[in-house]
Structure 1
Amino acid sequence: MNIKKLMLSTLAVAAAAVASTPQAEACSRVLYRGDSTLLIVGRSLDWKTPIPTNLYVYPRGMAKQGSPAPNAVKWTSKYGAVYAVGYDGGITEGMNEKGLVINGLFCKGTVYSNDSVSGRPPMSLAMFIGWLLDMNATTPEVVKVLREQNFDLSGASFDGGTTSTLHWGITDAEGRSAILEFDHGNVRVYEGTDMPVMTNDPPYPQMMAIEDYWEKVGGANMLPGTVKSPDRFVRGTFFANHVERTDDRRIGLTIIRSILMNVSVPYQYTVEAEPNVSSTQWRSFANLTDRLYYFDIVTNPGLVYVDLGKMDLRAGQPVRKLDTSTLGDAAGEVNSMMKVSEGFKPMY
């Protein structure tokens, strides 16, 4: 399915979208497709102040709930997963044992609820990604849950009152992708296999109109170079579509890391007239094929990873946590550094 055929793609629409795009907090997600089987999702987390982020591995068979409110969504996890948890209070992204990856990125203008969904079972943003990863193995399964929309999504503010206005990228081990956005409480899901990149604003249909314009310009001749969301989207898409294809996981990781570097925001970079432009705090790389989750904190010298295939995810096993503040100069596999934990406390 070619998602571009479903989108507006005229120059006039693209120009209007660029002119109206607010300067959102910067995050980027890029999917690297290898020669035949290798799939790696890379993302950057960009924010104006450091966001302490720890890694947790949760086993199968755990009873959880999406909110402390009455009639909240409740479930018992079918799959084990690794989560990246911000402030030890909310899941930013993760990968489950089936190779399903979900990444949350900022998208200003997002409105999660409306009158028609306000009476549905409550679900907190802190647990939303965990719920989807715990209970689904593939992108089509997630999409089915989303289209049913049997939940009312909301979240606590953080970092001095910031509201988490998000959209999500969803990718499974078969390379099937979806992008989830909320339009005044209504679920909008865009599906396809040709969806390698997402950033922030504007919403996905407008972003594709911008990309369509730049595709006609030709990225080998000129690419937009700022840290604005549409510019990062265009650069990420061009490089994702023009790099070498390999199934060597080390080379593939190197390629996706280099693309993420190109769309990252330099550390402590600021623009006086654009206070919401944010530095890249960390990058992650989820190898869906080999179930490896890499984590790259920009102030640390080493790239570390969790080998999810080697973790004991059987029901009854404990939650394990990697306190990233203790990494120091660590590099490579960190399974042995993950300590038994009670789990994080959701910021409902």
Structure 2
Amino acid sequence: MRTHMDRFACVFAMGAVLGLSLPVAEACTRVLWNENKLAVVTGRSMDWPESTEPTLVVFPRGIARSGGNVGPEVVVTENPATWMSKYGSMVTTVYGIGAVDGLNERGLGAHLLFLTATDFGPRDASKPGVVVSMWAQYVLDNAATVAEALEILPTVQIVMAEARGRKGTVHLAIEDASGDSAIIEYIDGKRVVHHGREYRIMTNDPSYDEQLALLAKLDFSNPSSDLPLPGNVNPRDRFQRAAYYTSLLPEPKTEQEAIAGVLAVIRNVSVPFGAPYKGFGVYNTEYRTATDLTNGRYFFELTTNPNVIWTELSRFDLAPGAPVKMLDPHDVELAGDVSGKFHTIEKPF
């Protein structure tokens, strides 16, 4: 495991696209704000050329899982990981096959974002296999802190999988209620870990080492409205812009101000409708989330709806045997606290 530091990693990105991406696609930003005195909060965007069919799902403890399936398809045929969830969680799903974003009841957050360079290496059947679409959920189910997550992840192997003809090339950002943070990538078949409170910003390509090197070349020591700042929608510009604005956030007086702060940064690095993305086409921001890890609240903003919605994990029954609950955020009538709007479903994955 390698640990890397950078003088301006005072802004640590977390973004997440589930690894169901086209070879030329790049998307998403994650921002962690762990320097204020009020709460540890995160923000993220999901940028995608089509609807990822997001739903908000609450899982109780005691959910039986298999790491070998992508939906009904069995991907890991030999030694798939199996586990029973230790912690309840609230997640945003992608295509109904896995979680790309969310938190658990102990205040651990997880976010999957696209990374072209991702290479999990050849399958090693001596380790239990976890398909990439279950990577974030595996962490939320089994770890209470970043340190615990980093202890258990080497005991399994993350396995590449496809859905809708797209490979799951992603990296993972995790953070906890203490403000600890880690970015986990697989480059050339080897795990690379950036562990520390200073790793607050994450976008997509290039690899995190290269993103930090590019950021170190910039001088943000004298911020002003005349400071030249990268302004396009590519992941390098978004990384640098998110780092700059996160470092300038004023101390919040309330949770409302803390959430507003991270959402302000995430909106600044979102991809407007119609903005060109390489040669592939348009990659609009589909939704934004904000997470208060200190108080267990989760905020969601669909870019095609006019309202921010939120819910509190502690308001749900998370005891083993409790029902799985789901909310479709596309209902334009939803606004404010929607904890009472969830309905019971069968376990989606």
2:57 matched residue in structure 1:
56
**Superimposed CA distance per residue, residues 247-296 of structure 1 (whole angstroms, 9 cap, x where no aligned partner):** 5100111111111111000023235x532551100000011011001111
User: Partner of 1:129: helix, strand, or coil?
Assistant: helix
What displacement does 1:75 show?
A: 0.8
Contact 2:296 2:313 in 1 (8 A): yes
* TM, length-normalised to structure 1: 0.88
The whole-number CA distance in structure 2 between the counterparts of 1:138 and 1:33 is 15
- Structure 1 residues 191 and 157, CA gap change in structure 2 (3 angstroms): same
Looking at secondary structure, tell me which structure has more helix per residue.
1
Match among 226, 237, 258 for residue 231 of structure 1:
237
1:24-173 mapped onto 2 (5 Å cutoff): 24-33=25-34, 35-67=36-68, 68=74, 69-114=77-122, 117-146=124-153, 148-158=154-164, 161-173=165-177
Q: Which moved more, 1:248-257 or 1:122-131?
A: 122-131
What displacement does 1:118 show?
A: 4.9
Q: Which runs of 5+ in 1 are unaligned?
A: 8-21
Contact 1:43 1:285 in 2 (8 A): yes
Contact 1:105 1:200 in 2 (8 A): yes
Q: Which moved more, 1:288-297 or 1:26-35?
A: 26-35
1:306 matched residue in structure 2:
311
Contact 1:295 1:303 in 2 (8 A): yes
What displacement does 1:34 show?
A: 5.4
The yes-or-no answer on 1:287 pairing with 2:283 is: no
1:4 matched residue in structure 2:
6
Q: % of aligned pairs identical? A: 31
The yes-or-no answer on 1:178 pairing with 2:182 is: yes
Aligned length: 325
User: Partner of 1:210: helix, strand, or coil?
Assistant: helix
1:264-343 mapped onto 2 (5 Å cutoff): 264-270=270-276, 274-275=279-280, 278-325=283-330, 327-343=331-347
1:14 matched residue in structure 2:
none
User: Partner of 1:88: helix, strand, or coil?
Assistant: coil
Q: CA RMSD in A?
A: 2.1
2:258 matched residue in structure 1:
252
The whole-number CA distance in structure 2 between the counterparts of 1:223 and 1:24 is 23
Question: Which AA in structure 1 matches 2:191?
Answer: V
User: Partner of 1:51: helix, strand, or coil?
Assistant: coil
Q: Which runs of 5+ in 2 are unaligned?
A: 10-22, 69-73
Contact 1:118 1:152 in 2 (8 A): no
The whole-number CA distance in structure 2 between the counterparts of 1:106 and 1:247 is 34
The whole-number CA distance in structure 1 between the counterparts of 2:36 and 2:5 is 22
The whole-number CA distance in structure 2 between the counterparts of 1:71 and 1:145 is 17
* TM, length-normalised to structure 2: 0.88
Question: Which AA in structure 1 matches 2:231?
Answer: G
The whole-number CA distance in structure 2 between the counterparts of 1:219 and 1:265 is 24
